Structure 1
Amino acid sequence: MARLESLDDQTDATLVAVPGYRRHIRIVPQPGAVLALLEDDIHAMAVRLRHHLGRVSAVDPLLDRMPWTTCPGAAAVLVDTFTGLPLAEVSPRLARRANCTHLHDLAVLAAAHADDAAETRYDIAVSDPVDGRRELTLWRNGEPMLRWIEQDGLLSAPAELAGRALPMLRDLIAAMPTDRAEAARLLQWAGLVAHGRTIPFAEQSDAARISPNCYTFQPKRAAVTRRVGQVFDFSMTGRTPGQDFSRRLGLVPTE
């Protein structure tokens, strides 16, 4: 299989030391269920997808830390969207805009890993832009898997993605092998979310100015929602995303 990484001589230790966005995703198969959790600067969320005979029997969302006052309402929408579906029909495109993007992603990840024997962990770092350059790196189970370079809004490496902006990768990602596509999609979304670090807080706190691409940003909620929740810059505090959240969920933290 051809590798799509662009791993240069910069060590992982050096990369994670630079200021930037951090995201941790952990997918843990359990008896009759899968728990998927996510933590980054402004989110700490989890979904436990229970399943029986190839169908989703229950959906249990948990919003531990969230950026908007209306976010908790998305839990009921997630339950309605996926409960009773065959696992194979839990799709990234199913009612996505009606849902919280992050809860939706976690439910899709959980369904995709329902038959796994072991957990899967993704760690992502996106450096803050310097002279228009960002580096986006993803590790799977502690091993470097993808590293992309973005210059002035367009990817310059790896060669397979060069000249394209992050939102324009859908077709290329869809053509990748399943495990590679999953990782690339997670890195793409992290890169998009990381742009928020460059936007003044006052501007990103007006939901009415944000595209209606998820539950909170639908017009009727965007008009009334307010920013809330604690923001952590994991790159500056030395803390590791996912560690404390895993403990609160009753999981043994990863090394």
Structure 2
Amino acid sequence: MVDNIDVQFIDSSKTETGTARRMIDLRRWDAHTVVGWLEDDFHHFGVTLTHSGDRITGVSATAQRYPWTTCAFAPESLTPLTGQTMLPRCSDIGGMIPMRQQCTHIFDLAGLVMAHAVRGNDHRRYQTITESREILGWKDHKSPLFGPTTITLLQDNAEVMAWHCESGAITDRESGHQQALGRGFRQWTESLPMDKAEHATVLRRALLVSGGRSMVHDRYPNAAAMDQPELCYSFQQERRDQALRMSGATRDYANEPERMLSCVNTRP
């Protein structure tokens, strides 16, 4: 049962999160262009990457729906990718630009788009499904404490990875491997075959984002009110007070995944 608390930003009446979905679409637009779109309840972003075959010649992004006013300016931080050699793992982007200075979700999508360009595939679509979790309580009146859940990854409508998740760790359904979501996670994914590593990276982010379904974000006037570390572009100290809440930006795709990615046939 949820703790009986009365805090301005917490919806203490909510006892479960409901099903969370995230959709990512990657496609080769032409011989030298790859386009990616990402959407979940809280975000809707697109990235276009152009390349010469081995180097990035240009990158742009668009923010269709986002939680904070400052998120709209985050795509500018991708500029240093231009001219860099393309690398095959989506996680390789972490060595190319500083993650904390980016919008987390545009950063992730740019890495996936780059990896897709190196693979040379025409099209790939991911959907993650995080089953509803019980909200057990709140740590320090701001961080939700969750019961166990299962998260599944579909690639082109076929299941490719699934985890049982409990107490900040996952158990991979196929291998039985147990792994903390924090320290050591990147080392684990780097030891996996490339596709499996990408699947795990996509699942981890989706699982973390799904926790947002426990909150009412419109109750936070700005990013500073969430009192979180400097994890991304809008949460940096110099922006968090000016990062105003985009009221009404949250959607609920639990039962309507077909409504997601409405911009998928356009180029960001």
Output aligned runs, 1:1-255, within 5 Å.
Answer: 19-31=18-30, 32-78=32-78, 80-88=79-87, 91-93=93-95, 94-115=97-118, 116-130=120-134, 132-158=147-173, 160-162=176-178, 164-168=179-183, 169-201=185-217, 206-208=222-224, 209-228=227-246, 230-236=249-255, 238-240=256-258, 242-247=260-265, 249=266
Q: Deviations over 1:125-173 (max 9, x none)?
A: 11121371211110111100111111343334536433x4322422211
Is the CA contact (8 Å cut-off) linking 1:92 and 1:105 kept in structure 2?
no
Which stretch shifts more, 179-188 or 222-231? 222-231
Query: What amino acid is aligned across from residue 194 of structure 2 in structure 1?
Result: T
Task: Give the TM-score taking structure 1 as reference length.
Answer: 0.82
C-alpha distance in 1 between matches for 2:26 and 2:218: 34
Higher share in helix:
1
Count residues with an aligned counterpart. Answer: 230
The runs of 5 or more residues in structure 1 that have no matched partner are: 1-17
Q: Deviations over 1:82-118 (max 9, x none)?
A: 1111112962343111111111111111111114132
Q: Residue 206 of structure 1: CA displacement?
A: 4.7
Superposed CA RMSD in Å reads 2.3
SS at match of 1:171: helix
Identical columns (%): 29
Q: Structure 1 residues 245 and 155, CA, compared in 2 at 3 Å: closer, same or farther?
A: same
Q: Structure 1 residues 250 and 108, CA, compared in 2 at 3 Å: closer, same or farther?
A: closer
C-alpha distance in 2 between matches for 1:42 and 1:190: 11
Task: Give the TM-score taking structure 2 as reference length.
Answer: 0.78
Q: Residue 183 of structure 1: CA displacement?
A: 0.6
Where do 4+ consecutive residues of structure 1 move more than 4 Å? Answer: 202-206
Which stretch shifts more, 179-188 or 207-216? 207-216
C-alpha distance in 2 between matches for 1:102 and 1:250: 17
Q: Residue 62 of structure 1: CA displacement?
A: 1.1
